[in-house]
Structures are given as structure tokens and as C-alpha cells.
Amino acid sequence: MRKNIVAGNWKMNKTLQEGIALAKELNETLANEKPNCDVIICTPFIHLASVTPLVDAAKIGVGAENCADKESGAYTGEVSAAMVASTGAKYVILGHSERRAYYGETVAILEEKVKLALANGLTPIFCIGEVLEEDEISRTGTIDDIWSRILFEDDNGEEQVGYIPTSVLEGYEDKNQVASDATSDGTVEAGIIHKSTGEGVFAEAVEGVTQTGGNAGVLEGQPIMVSADSSLRPLGVFHITHYCQCSICCGPWANGITSTGVTATTNRTIAVDPTVIPYGSKVVINGQVYVAEDCGGAIKNNRIDIYMGSHAEALNSGVFDVEVYLLEEGSSVQGIEGIQEGNQE
């Protein structure tokens, strides 16, 4: 008889203290309940040894989000199946699409992981439902060898152009005819990709996304500071990151054009979740005014990405959490002192 399971994957979220608090809360919630399914939580490795003894094993199973494909050895940063089992965890997630996409996990690697998980008494939660079909595709170019431009046939049999992380492609050959700017007319066989209807890199790759234009420099703006008589409405604490128009930050959309169709400008443009902060809104971060002109796949809820002139600047600007304000309509700010076009680094 097929068993119903509800499993929660925490992914890369929650500090140890936050994870312990969440596990306790879940345990208390289910204390007087009789779920008609198995409940499993799969946590980051640092939580396992602390969370496992906190929950009622009769109601909540605990698992890891991944394990290594090696039994032991000089594999810095890896966590073996035996290590997972030693914490008391009973499950492990294997074959997740994010692992396949971002870290290039292949069928051969996953086979070894499954064998080791079973050998150590772990029950694998093997992810296979996201894959709908396989497409033979050809790679026609790359962007800094991070994103690959591909040709594939859609459901109607028509040839489409899309972009996908190079790490996803199995068995592609890295030949000189593959252009670094994704403009080569030469075709290189890229192997097989798996097409998914879910959100993320697979869905984006097969939707016929095209690259427009080139990198014609960076628009640099002067900072706009809030004047003393401005009216500000608190929006709460946001997680602030930084990006530029390079392919590392923007993938195939590395052309300096925002999702609203304007050219990204330093000291002005920010990427937001438009369901939280509408496009065109003037947002105040650390006393400086920015305009919501862009979005991003990872920019969800209370997160803002500030546009910078180069990748080095984006990295050096760091990551932080800060109170963010909305500049209300009719409020005054000091004027923009001019925008000038500079060369991209």
C-alpha cells in the first residue's frame, strides 16, 4: 500500500538556533495530533544532531538534504551517509533538481549516493517528479562559459533558442568554436538536458529566452539623498545584496537593460519583488534614494538587489539587513546631478 508522506526541505535556511526553535514548534503542534501521513523534516547538516532528539520520532522523521557519493576520505566540505546516520537521522534527499542544476550531479553520482545511503540504513527521498522529458539539444555559444545558449524543439516541434547553466549539460564538448559572447554560428553538440515545468533554471532555459544587445557601458548616476522634509513610510527590514550587468549576475540578460525596459543606472536602479515594492517606487536605503526598476529570480519578498557598476563593486559592497522606507508621492528629494555613460570594466 502506498504511503502518504509530507516532507519539508529547509534548504539553506535557518541558523542552528532558529532550526531548533522551528523543530520544537512543529513537535508541539503535532503533540496532540494524529497525522494521516508520515511527517519528515530535512534540515541542513548542522541541525541534524540537535534537532533529531528534540522531536517525537513516532510522529516526525528527520533527514538530511544531501550526502556525499564517497564513503570517506579527503573530500573537504562533504558529508558522508555514515555521518548523516550517526546523528540519528533516518532519511536523506537525493537527486534534487537544484543539486543537478547547480552542482552538475549526474546519474552515476546519484547511483553511488543511493548505494551509500542504503548501506548506512538511510531511506533515500529520491527526487524524480520534476523531470518530464529529455531533449536532445545543441549548444551554439556560451556567456563566460557559465550560461550556454542552446537550440531545442518545443512541444510543437518548432526550433527555439534558450539559455541554461553550462553545469547542467551532460557530455557537452568544450570546443574553441563556442563563442564567449554567445554569438557563434557554429554548433556544438551539448548532450541531453531535462526539461521541467517547475520554477527555476530548467523552466527558464526552455522558454525561448533571448539575449538582446551587448554590453555598451555602464550608466553612472550621482547619489540622491533624502531631504529633511521628505515623508517616509517604513517598509520593514530587507535583505540587501548587490549585482551588476555581467553574466555571472544576470545570466543571459547581461545587457544592462532592466525588466522595465530602462537602462540600469548606478546609485539609482534596484531590483525588487514587484509584488512587494511596485515598479517605479522610490525607495530609501541608508538615506539614499533608489528607484525600483528591475527584478530577479532570487529577489523575492523582503530582498533588494542594488545595481553596481562592476562585479568587483558588487562583491565588495557585501550583504546586509537594513530598515527600508518608501518615499511617498509628493515628497521632495535633492535632484539628480546628472547621469553619464562610462565604460564597463
> Which three cell numbers, joined as nine digits, stand for 245?
550587468
- DSSP letter, residue 333: B
Confidence at residue 93, expressed as pLDDT on a 0 to 100 scale? 95
**pLDDT confidence tier of residue 257, bands split at 50, 70 and 90:** confident
The H or E element that residue 114 is part of is helix 107-119
Structure pTM?
Answer: 0.42
d(CA 126, CA 134): 18
**Beta-bridge mates of residue 243:** 307
Q: Is the pLDDT of residue 169 over 60?
A: no
Confidence at residue 147, expressed as pLDDT on a 0 to 100 scale? 57
Class of domain 5-126: alpha beta
Q: Is the pLDDT of residue 236 over 70?
A: yes
Confidence at residue 118, expressed as pLDDT on a 0 to 100 scale? 95
**pLDDT confidence tier of residue 130, bands split at 50, 70 and 90:** very low
Confidence at residue 154, expressed as pLDDT on a 0 to 100 scale? 57
Q: Is the pLDDT of residue 55 over 80?
A: yes
Q: Is the pLDDT of residue 99 over 50?
A: yes
Cβ neighbours of residue 166 closer than 8 Å, sequence gap 6 or more: 142, 145, 146, 147, 148, 172
Tell me the CA distances in angstroms from 146 to 20, 94, 162, 252, 312, one per residue in order. 37, 24, 14, 10, 17
For 218-342, CATH number? 2.40.40.10
> Which three cell numbers, joined as nine digits, stand for 132?
518530464
Q: Which of 211, 221, 203 is nearest to 182 (CA)?
A: 211
Q: Where are the domains of the chain?
A: 5-126, 133-205, 218-342
